[in-house]
Structure 1
Amino acid sequence: MNWKHLIGGVVVGVAASYIAKEAIIKNSGLSSNEVLQIAKAAFKEKGPINGSWIQMEKETLHTLEASFTVYRGGITRMNGDKQEVYEFVSNSETGNILDVNQLA
């Protein structure tokens, strides 16, 4: 066997495994719609909601303790005659809400 063929095969194998690993990591976790449904269920526990939205792209959130892949979204609801708007950040793997901020 020729050493060039052996080394070439190893290089191709390593490259293919790296590409496959990146594809699996990118597609792991919950979809944005699944995360939005989890967030809506959590907000509905405190009353009805009027609207909701979520960003389709995942992003990385760095904290002092760890880094998370997250989705950002929002919920609107009426409190009497006043509209309340909340923004949330949810873990893309578990759907857990990591942070909530009231905007208006």
Structure 2
Amino acid sequence: MKVNNFLAGVLTGVAAGIVVSETIDRLNKNVSADTVLNTVKEAFKTEGPIDGSWIVMKTEPFQNNVISMDVYRGGISRIKNGELEQFEFAADAKTGTVVELVKR
């Protein structure tokens, strides 16, 4: 076996390992709680101003029928037609997608 072929094989293996490692890390990371809250706030702002908002920075387990995931819990309040409206939400920690929205 030539040294050049050996080195090419080693470098290819290292490059493949780095790509696989980065992909696995990306799949296991959560979206930040701040990003989730900003996304939800922007969606609510399309209907009018927001009075207040909050989010819990730590994820918690969530189950809806057969679907299980970790979620961030948060809330939004606003004044609409002179009355206070409050909403609580749960958002998937991996994608930031709102999976539950409840008007309180």
Task: Identify unmatched segments of 5+ residues in structure 1.
Answer: 1-23
Structure-1-length-normalised TM-score: 0.69
1:26-71 Cα shifts (integer Å, max 9, x gaps): x721111111011111111222111100011100101223211100
The root-mean-square deviation of aligned C-alpha atoms, in Å, is: 1.7
Residue-pair matches, total: 79
Q: In the aligned structure 1, how far is the partner of 2:65 from the partner of 2:36?
A: 24
In structure 1, how many angstroms separate the alpha carbons of the residues matched to 2:54 and 2:69? 20
Structure 1 residue ranges, 4+ long, deviating more than 6 angstroms after superposition: none
Structure 2 residue runs of 5 or longer lacking an equivalent are: 1-24
Distance in 2 of aligned mates of 1:44 and 1:93 = 23
The 5 Å alignment of 1:1-104 reads 28-103=29-104
Percent identity over paired residues: 38
Which of the pair has more CA radius of gyration? 2
Whole-Å separation in 2 of the counterparts to 1:98 and 1:46: 20
What TM-score, normalized by structure 2, do the two folds share?
0.69
Contact 1:56/1:71 (CA < 8 Å) preserved in 2?
yes
